[in-house]
Amino acid sequence: MAILVSCKRVLSAGTETFAPVSRIEAIRILLAFAAFTSMKLYQIDVKSAFLNGTILKEVYVSQPPGFENELLSSHVFKLNKALYGLKQAPHAWYEKLSSFLTNNNFIRGKIDSTLFRKDIKDFIIVQIYIDDIILRSDPERAIPNLERAVPAHI
């Protein structure tokens, strides 16, 4: 299987290239909290996560090898979505996922912006680590709904 990766040669860093990453201490605290309260943790690995982000600024890439148009060899492609290797891809993915969570009544952590919680009806904690999600819920019945909803909307 071939994966198209953008070339980083001409892309300059900007404000839309930062995506927060959980500190290992935050994950350890979540694991300790779950162990202390005897709650199960669930994990979601979002497949092709970085390809699902929407980039807000115009980004152009050269024609990839094997897909060159001989008649238009000097032309470039304008991206509609993020690609692997694109500096904006992690930021675009984080923004899409965090928007989904906040639109579903999750509250972003003030100190750790990769930690979300929801106290309405059920108590749910969501910890994001790049393209992985750790979930904890009380009661556990809320987990399957979230496991289905995240990939469906992302």
The pLDDT tens digits of the residues spanning 91-106 come to 899 999 999 999 989 9
Q: What are phi and psi of 136, to 5 degrees?
A: -145, 135
Q: Can you give the pLDDT at residue 120?
A: 78
Q: Can you give the pLDDT at residue 2?
A: 42
Task: Work out the pLDDT band at 14, boundaries 50, 70, 90.
Answer: low
Q: Can you give the pLDDT at residue 98?
A: 93
Q: Would residue 147 count as lying in a domain?
A: yes
Mean local confidence (pLDDT), 20-28 = 90
Q: Would residue 2 count as lying in a domain?
A: no
Q: Would residue 26 count as lying in a domain?
A: no
Q: Would residue 139 count as lying in a domain?
A: yes
Residue 78 in tokens: 């304008």
Q: Would residue 102 count as lying in a domain?
A: yes
Mean local confidence (pLDDT), 50-61 = 85
Domain containing residue 121: 40-54+85-153
Q: Would residue 135 count as lying in a domain?
A: yes
